[in-house]
Amino acid sequence: MSSLNKFLIVTTDEIPGYRIVKVIGLVSGSVVRARHIGKDFLATIRNIVGGEVTEYTELLAQAREDAINRMIQKARSLGANAVVGLRFATTAVASGAAEILAYGTAVVVEPVE
Please report whether residue 47 resides in a domain: no
Predicted pLDDT of residue 4: 42
Please report whether residue 106 resides in a domain: yes
Predicted pLDDT of residue 2: 40
pTM: 0.79
Residues whose CB falls within 8 Å of the CB of residue 104, separated by 6 or more in sequence, listed in order: 9, 26, 27, 28, 71, 83, 84, 85, 86, 87
Q: What's the CATH number where 29 sits?
A: 3.30.110.70
Alpha helices in the chain (DSSP H): 37-49, 54-77
pLDDT tens profile 3-41: 446 899 999 999 999 999 999 999 999 999 876 555 555
Contact by Cβ (8 Å): 104, 12: no
Please report whether residue 57 resides in a domain: no
Q: What percent of the chain shows pLDDT beyond 70?
A: 79
Please report whether residue 73 resides in a domain: yes
Show the domain range for 103. 8-34+62-111
**Cα dihedral 70, 72, 75, 77 sign:** negative
Mean pLDDT of the chain: 85
